Structure 1
């Protein structure tokens, strides 16, 4: 029997496809926005922190309300709130309004996450890891496609805001689409009887999960996994120009190699998760690959190695956050919306803290130190994942029938 929530999943993935563009659109239009708002490039970078502020504030209540009211109201609301950001930013007459619009984008992001992750986990319980990792696939495709959309408008000497307006149109249509499709009952038992093509996964608790141990560790992984990829997205083009001596065009192109690596990763994870490799194993291996790739990027200044290093950084930082969201619901399945909001709060904190901290590091010690800081974050991620794996074996026994 075909899963009845395929349409819902399609609409949710479309939302994240556009979100992938939103994640990089401010940095990609830094020059345009600086001129429009009559401010410096560094001030424009703080709009990314504003998104984090909006997300962090709303996550304190979005997850709990998602558990009470259901998933649909939040993903639909997210689509329409994003319209404020996408229409408002290109038309903002001053920096203050732009900052407010960026906060709205953060609120929309938290609403989308609070509804989407629990909805996908509830709809595809046997393949929850693959279903949530696919979110990152659509984010990566969106981020990779944005430069081509921008190039289309630039080549025709058209207003840069048309890129924003195009994305707003997609969210508008998708919002009405999501309003009509079916969502799983968020208060139903864990067993998903709608998907008869796969066996039911059952979790037996060997001991009571402890939020102060594995819960906190997974929440911290939400922070470090976000910090890892966010630092690269913000600083990679500058690193390419200032440290590696690349032209602006070639430095920006590094983001494409990074996005390709991210896309390859999530495709592999979607196919291999739970069949060949477990989510927690990925969370242990990926930070090791990330640390080695970052060190290679910093110290091996050879064109081919630069491309390969960037590709593997993208590959090893993609999907870890989504896997953390899946794992924490296995530890604490009763309130998925609430518990995933904690991971999201940690991720939102990274959006606020990382630009601020790395800005200080870049001014005082240079961009090489910024990327060495990312290596340290990868090491911390590895240690946290090892601890979570240890607790997972102690707490959960997985069986299928």
Structure 2
């Protein structure tokens, strides 16, 4: 009881951390919304339909994943050894640099370097925010972690409206970048003074014996699923604008809003499933299966309404808490190494960000105006592999530790 009362003093800290994920939601997709503007700024070639070749911009977006990978060896240990606050503040500083500078970058190469800085910021924040939320809401840690996705989804839902607001008033496209930079700076100032759970309170890090991180087959497969579960929504949020235009959608930015609504509803659904003791591993099969069917439907039914309906379904079944749920389960496997296991699980997500978005850039360059359909086919292939991995995960979990992971998540939901 005292622990519950004591944890309440950290609620303002949790609020600031969730606001941080709101900013992260903007930064993760804003370059994808302004690809034409960046392509024009970086003197890209003009295609036959009068638009700019955005393959270079897609390559820059992919560099965010590379930055995540570069920071990974430092960010996790820093968070576990020197504290969540320091890791978060480093992330804030790097994000501020990216947001303030990227729209003034003189060429694609400077933009690429700044995208790496953005990815590094993401890494430092991931290794701070996810463990912090689970340590603050330890009785509901799994659900608390899922709802970090809610902050991201709200940002992505509001972003198209903000873009329209800026466009109607003929403000420069860098307006949103600068405003977001101001928000992350203010957020960082608050976090510098707010309390964090101490390591003695959470783990007794100095007195506890060293925990050896032994990866079972299930843990390895779970890490691999970080790649496939991330691929669908990463490709979608970065390439949907061109697909919508190809299918005749007059306002492609609406796709983002439908996608975000799907995510928000899915997050509540995922929390409900946890409370009802639905096995998380089974969700990792069911959701990607529906997502794959949705991609097939979007490819075959080339209509504007299919883009909007499909975006909603992809938001629900491809991005609505699946990755967060997998990360939370991994945190339960290694409670004394949360700052390390979080990036270990999500490193595959960053590899996906870099590799698959880079491939999308190549497909965009060779496919021209028809490239969005090539990206869809590529997305389907990766998603199919993810479903096979998830099926294997269910089998291996039962063989290694029958019901252990699912029971841990269920117990968290019941407390």
**TM-score (structure 2 length as normaliser):** 0.85
Displacement of 1:333 after TM fit? Answer: 2.6
Kept after mapping to 2: 8 A contact 1:56/1:349: yes
Displacement of 1:380 after TM fit? Answer: 2.1
Q: Which moved more, 1:316-325 or 1:366-375?
A: 366-375
Corresponding residue SS for 2:336: helix
Deviations 1:143-169 (A, max 9, x none): 121122222222122222111111111
Kept after mapping to 2: 8 A contact 1:129/1:279: no
Deviations 1:24-79 (A, max 9, x none): 11121222222323235221222212211111100122112211112111112211
Of 1, 8, 13, 1:8 maps to 13
Deviations 1:301-359 (A, max 9, x none): 45554432221111001211111111112223331111211122211111110022233
Determine the C-alpha separation between the residues in 1 that align with 2:94 and 2:11. 24
The alignment yields a C-alpha RMSD, in angstroms, of 2.4
Task: Find out whether 1:382 has 2:387 as its counterpart.
Answer: yes
Corresponding residue SS for 2:65: helix
Task: Find out whether 1:180 has 2:193 as its counterpart.
Answer: yes
Displacement of 1:16 after TM fit? Answer: 0.8
Kept after mapping to 1: 8 A contact 2:35/2:57: yes
Kept after mapping to 2: 8 A contact 1:122/1:186: no
Determine the C-alpha separation between the residues in 2 that align with 1:347 and 1:306. 24
| Shift in alpha-carbon separation, 1:366–1:99, aligned structure 2, 3 A | closer
Which position in structure 1 is the counterpart of 2:61?
48
Kept after mapping to 1: 8 A contact 2:230/2:323: yes
| Shift in alpha-carbon separation, 1:217–1:233, aligned structure 2, 3 A | same
| Shift in alpha-carbon separation, 1:132–1:34, aligned structure 2, 3 A | same
Of 225, 228, 236, 1:224 maps to 228
Determine the C-alpha separation between the residues in 2 that align with 1:62 and 1:377. 28
Displacement of 1:105 after TM fit? Answer: 0.8
Task: Find out whether 1:68 has 2:81 as its counterpart.
Answer: yes
Determine the C-alpha separation between the residues in 1 that align with 2:302 and 2:140. 41
Q: Which moved more, 1:179-188 or 1:73-82?
A: 179-188
Kept after mapping to 1: 8 A contact 2:67/2:116: yes
Determine the C-alpha separation between the residues in 1 that align with 2:139 and 2:394. 20
Which position in structure 1 is the counterpart of 2:153?
140
Task: Find out whether 1:330 has 2:332 as its counterpart.
Answer: yes
Deviations 1:92-151 (A, max 9, x none): 233332222221111110000011111122222332221111111111111121122222
Which position in structure 2 is the counterpart of 1:202?
none
Determine the C-alpha separation between the residues in 1 that align with 2:278 and 2:13. 27
Corresponding residue SS for 1:141: helix
Deviations 1:170-191 (A, max 9, x none): 1111101111222223454569
Determine the C-alpha separation between the residues in 2 that align with 1:259 and 1:37. 30
Kept after mapping to 2: 8 A contact 1:283/1:323: no
Gaps of 5+ in 1: 192-207
Determine the C-alpha separation between the residues in 2 that align with 1:369 and 1:103. 26
Determine the C-alpha separation between the residues in 2 that align with 1:122 and 1:289. 33
Matches within 5 A, 1:239-254: 239-242=243-246, 244=247, 246-247=248-249, 249-254=250-255
Q: Which moved more, 1:23-32 or 1:81-90?
A: 23-32
Matches within 5 A, 1:339-354: 339-354=341-356
Corresponding residue SS for 1:182: coil
Matches within 5 A, 1:122-141: 122-141=135-154
Kept after mapping to 2: 8 A contact 1:58/1:107: yes
Determine the C-alpha separation between the residues in 2 that align with 1:67 and 1:107. 17
**TM-score (structure 1 length as normaliser):** 0.88
Which position in structure 1 is the counterpart of 2:359?
357
Determine the C-alpha separation between the residues in 2 that align with 1:96 and 1:374. 27
Of 17, 25, 45, 1:20 maps to 25
